Amino acid sequence: MDRDLIPAEFQRFHDLIYKLAGIHYPAEKMALLSNRIRRRLRATKVATYDAYLQLVQTNSQPAEVQAFLDSITTNETYFFRCQRHWDFFREWATARAADPATRREGFRIWSAAASTGAEAFTICIVLHQILGNNFGGVPVEILGTDLSASILEEARAGVYRPYAVAQTPPDVVKKYFTKQGTEELLFDRQLARHVTFQRHNLMEPLMGARNFDFVFLRNVMIYFDVPSKEKVMRNAHAVTRPGGYLMVGESESLMNLDQPFTYVKPSIFQRKSETTAPART
Ligand SMILES: C[S@@+](CC[C@H](N)C(=O)[O-])C[C@H]1O[C@@H](n2cnc3c(N)ncnc32)[C@H](O)[C@@H]1O
């Protein structure tokens, strides 16, 4: 196939992607989407866009549906993305570690739309800097989830190119990574054990998880329309503990959304503590 999608084909793929992942591909991205699908045509040796659409739509090859989803997601990420966010997280985590009651409870954190794991491992680094070796005996559990199975494989491997640590102070790189080959960097295997990576579609509830103290939901809602964003926020709210925080990407506005979190400041939201009615006497 040596041409881009025509508008009618684009619309059919658009609707399928929206149905499967809540992702809204704008018409300006037709060339990008064409390129991405062409790669799948070559890999599967399917001749036309419509034949490939049919293959994915009928779910006759579930592995190909996953490969399709892997191919249409954008996985841009890096360590310490948006310094202002990490300042807020560090301050919150330091206060939580200083209070004996919350310190005992530990840290349960969700990196939703985790991509290569750079965000989940940045959380690890910051908590290690605050709590010290073995996290000072404090329980730390980090869950990283993503729609893309292939990107989660990369996250589990924990190997990064220099680009991923371009915003990370050199002494931090030295401490938490081991050089592999000429330029690749392997993230600390001991710390990585505190992170579990799992496939999850944000359009669906996250099942079986205990409530999180902090949820990172950054730089993914840019791909969603209003109903998808509202669904994701409701799903995230359901697994955030009362008083817990949710952080969204710098450029993501939740203005005018019908969603259950309380606005704290740009990018930061909180699940309100449930007020219990005074007991009757
Ligand atoms: C641009 S990356 C953001 C990574 C990281 N959160 C950050 O801010 O650096 C967006 C990620 O969202 C994932 N994604 C897109 N749609 C998703 C969905 N419906 N459910 C779960 N993850 C999704 C993509 O696979 C991709 O890895």
Q: Both 51 and 91 in a single domain?
A: no
Mean pLDDT on 48-65: 94
Span from the CA of 190 to the centroid of ligand 1 (angstroms):
25
CB-count burial class (<10 Å; 0-12, 13-18, 19+) for 242: exposed
Check which CATH number belongs to the domain holding 241 and give it.
3.40.50.150
Of the candidates 108, 146, 213, 271, the residue annotated as catalytic is: 146
Last residue of a domain, one of 48, 72, 96: 72
Q: Both 96 and 162 in a single domain?
A: yes
User: Which pLDDT score is estimated for 277?
Assistant: 47
Does 36 participate in catalysis according to the annotation?
Answer: yes
Mean pLDDT on 197-223: 95
Span from the CA of 220 to the centroid of ligand 1 (angstroms):
5
Span from the CA of 242 to the centroid of ligand 1 (angstroms):
25
The reply to whether 65 falls in a domain is yes
> CA 37, CA 125: separation in Å to the nearest integer?
37
The reply to whether 277 falls in a domain is no
pTM: 0.95
The residue whose two tokens read 């669904």 is 231
The reply to whether 2 falls in a domain is no
| Residue 214, SS3 per DSSP | strand
Q: Is the pLDDT of residue 279 over 70?
A: no
Number of domains the chain is built from: 2
* pLDDT single digits (tens) 57-97: 998 899 999 999 999 999 999 999 999 999 999 999 999 99
Q: Both 30 and 135 in a single domain?
A: no
Assess whether the C-beta atom of 34 lies below 6 angstroms from ligand 1: no
> Do residues 124 and 194 lie in contact, with contact meaning Cβ atoms separated by under 8 Å?
yes
* pLDDT single digits (tens) 190-202: 999 999 999 999 9
Residue 177: both structure tokens together:
């990574």
Q: Residue 63's domain spans which residues? A: 7-72
Q: Is the pLDDT of residue 140 over 90?
A: yes
User: Which pLDDT score is estimated for 273?
Assistant: 84
> CA 281, CA 272: separation in Å to the nearest integer?
27
Average pLDDT for the chain: 95
User: Which pLDDT score is estimated for 275?
Assistant: 56
Residue 158, Ramachandran bin (φ over 0: left; ψ between -120 and 50: alpha; else beta): left
Lowest mean pLDDT among 114-128, 142-156, 199-213: 199-213
Assess whether the C-beta atom of 76 lies below 6 angstroms from ligand 1: yes
Q: Which amino acid is at 267?
A: S
Name residues whose C-beta falls within 8 Å of residue 162's C-beta, 6 or more positions apart in sequence.
183, 185
> Do residues 48 and 42 lie in contact, with contact meaning Cβ atoms separated by under 8 Å?
no
User: Which pLDDT score is estimated for 192?
Assistant: 97
Q: Both 240 and 175 in a single domain?
A: yes
